[in-house]
Each structure stands twice: as C-alpha cells, then as structure tokens.
Amino acid sequence: MRADLVPDDLWERVAPLLPPAPERRHRHPGRSRVPDRTALADVLFVLRTGVAWRDVPAETVGCSGVTAWRRLRDWTEAGVWPCLHAALLTELRRAKLLDLDDCAVDGSQVRALKRGTTLDPLAVTLTGGNRHDVTQLLSPLDAVPPIRGAQGRPRRKPRRLYADRGYDFDKYRRLLWKRGIKPLIARRGVAHGSGLGKVRWVVERAFAWLHQFKRLRTRYERRADLHQGLLELARSLICLRRLRTSS
C-alpha cells in the first residue's frame, strides 16, 4: 500500500468510524480480508486520479478496484463520511479556523455520464442538472451538521448568508429570515459593484478545491449515494489539509 495515500493523521480519524469486519467462517475462511487501510488507499487513489475502478493498479496501490468499490459502498451505507466531516469541522472550530457567522452558497454542475438517479465546504447536496440553484438554497443549510468545538450549544446555521443574483427571490429571503439568517443576496437589474464578491469568493475557491479531485469533475458513479460519499470524503480531506497548514 502506498503510505502517502493514507497518512497517519487521516487514518487515526477514519479508523474509529469504520464498521467492524464481518466474522469469517472457521471451516472455509477463504482468502484473507484486505485491510481497511489498504482499501481506503484505493478509494483515495480513484478519487484523486479519476481512474476507473477496474483500472486501479492493484500491484501499486494494494488491492483491486472492485474490492475498494465494495468497501466504499459499505462505508457509505454505514454513514462514515458525514461523521468524519462533522468531526473535522469540530476540530476546525476548536482551533478557531472556522467562521460560522458568514457563509456563502452557490451551485456547480458536472456531467453525469451514466445518468444516475438524482439525489471548509460546510455542506453539499447532489441534485439533477435541471434544478434551478435557488430551489436548493435551503437543502445545504439543512445538511450542516451540529458543529461543536466551542462553548455553548453546537452551531448549525450561519448568521449571514451571501449569494449571487441567481438567488434573488423575496420568497427565499423571507424563508431565511424565518430561520434567523440574514440574507445578503445581490439584486437582479442592479449594476455590479455590490461588494458581495469580497465575501462570496470563498465558495468559488471551495469548488476549485473540490475539482482538484479528478473523480468529481465528471460523475461516473451510477449510484448517487456513492458519488455523494466521494464528495463528502473530498471535503473532509480539504478540512484536514486546513488543520495541517495551521499547525
């Protein structure tokens, strides 16, 4: 297994979240189970390079792509990735590296070659490409996990939300106000120069970070939950990278 794919600080955070391995039959145990860390290395190799599962070089990474895909399926169904992300957000907040007062929202599209079913980023949601951005405004807010790491109750929502003109609908402004969130949304038909870009650029930066993981540039997974799982794993890696650079 390539050690650089699963460094110790990542493995220490992932290992406690993984479901236990199924018990082996004593009479006919078959081949030894591939270690979870080796399978995770395969998953990360696919996420970073974009290579097809069947083309994973087992002799280089450690196991076959089919085995890694099955392990990814099991871990995704067990809810490993949201737990990992929530834990890293807590660490970021404890280290005062996460600002929960001001947040930005936007949408990004990728090709879905197999036409699968629809389904420091705080939250992401996966939908079909024919959905207007504004209709998904509330979904990411609902997907933000309870973030601990500071005194008081866990935080689940920002105080202010920034968005571009695509979200300029009074109906959604009212819905945000009802949630206790101040909407700072650019107005259509108004000249540029609102100054919101000074804050909103962080969401574009987040898209750029996510697109560094080549498997996410195009959706190859037929199952929406597996693409979502890879997306959640990628944003956890982004959070971990932020913790590393601050130490």
The 10s digit of each residue's pLDDT in 69-108 is: 999 999 999 999 999 999 999 999 999 998 888 888 887 7
Q: What is d(CA 158, CA 99) in angstroms, rounded to the nearest whole number?
A: 9
Q: What is d(CA 86, CA 13) in angstroms, rounded to the nearest whole number?
A: 11
| Residue range 138-161, pLDDT digits in tens | 888 888 888 998 888 899 889 999
Contact between 42 and 31 under an 8 Å Cβ cutoff? The reply is no
Average pLDDT over residues 97-120: 67
**Sequence-separated (6 or more) residues with CB below 8 Å from residue 66:** 53, 54
Proportion of the chain above pLDDT 70, given as a percent: 85
Higher-pLDDT residue of 137, 26: 137
* pLDDT reported for residue 127: 61
Over the chain, what is the mean pLDDT?
85
Instruction: Return the structure tokens found at 94.
Output: 């404890």
| Residue range 24-78, pLDDT digits in tens | 666 666 678 899 999 999 999 999 999 999 999 888 778 899 999 999 999 999 9
pLDDT range class, residue 218, cuts 50, 70, 90: confident
Q: Tell me 155's DSSP state.
A: B
**Sequence-separated (6 or more) residues with CB below 8 Å from residue 185:** 161, 162, 163, 164, 165, 167, 168, 172, 173
Higher-pLDDT residue of 93, 3: 93
**Sequence-separated (6 or more) residues with CB below 8 Å from residue 220:** 52, 113, 114, 227
pLDDT at 119 over 50: no
Listed residue (169, 172, 147, 166) closest to 158, CA to CA = 147
> What is the DSSP track for 103-161?
EE------EETT-PPP----------TTS-GGGGSHHHHHHPPPB-SSSSSPB-S-SEE
